[in-house]
Structure 1
Amino acid sequence: MSSALPLQLHVDAQYASPYAMSVFVALREKALPFALHTVDLDAAAHHDPAYAALSLTARVPTLQHGELALSESSAITEYLEDVFDGAPLYPSDPAARARAR
């Protein structure tokens, strides 16, 4: 999968999710361009068939990268770390990295 594909981040419309914020910060730390899309949880937009088909958990955040969609913040940040250059999100030492997770 090409890292040149555009990134799409889906977050709650109130910007209140700490999990969505952690992905937002990771994208900014790595200086990656991305489009931000809001999902109105109060209106149950996360249960809309189109979003539910995109998000495995039907929750936020969800990151799209081409055909790949990830819905858990830790999986998303680990993916960003593995696929993209930029500031490291985790320590390089295996023990420190395990503690950071």
Structure 2
Amino acid sequence: MFKFLRRQAVPAFSLAAVLLTIFTPDAAFAADQLNSGDTAWIITATALVLFMTLPGLALFYGGLVRSRNVLSVLMHCVAIACLMSVLWLIIGYSLS
């Protein structure tokens, strides 16, 4: 029963997604001009996610290693977060 349902549901949802994109092409081109509110919200949301994820991820990985290596793991997490923030400013912001 489950295999039959899965075989029928995946093509049905795929077809629905294709039909939605075919019959609503103007939705992708709705925003022709830049909005400063949207830009501020993207930057704010990115900062909130960064400040929420960084301590949790660093403490999680810090708990997986020996106590003498915790500081090294925390610094690796901070360094990677700094690198990814710079890369997001260079590459990701232009995509959004």
Q: Of the two structures, which has the highest relative contact order with CA contacts closer than 8 Å and spacing of 6 or more? A: 1
Which protein has the larger Cα radius of gyration, Structure 1 or Structure 2? 2
State whether TM-score is above 0.5. Answer: no
If each structure's strand is expressed as a fraction of its own residues, which one has the higher value?
A: 1
TM-score, normalization by structure 1: 0.24
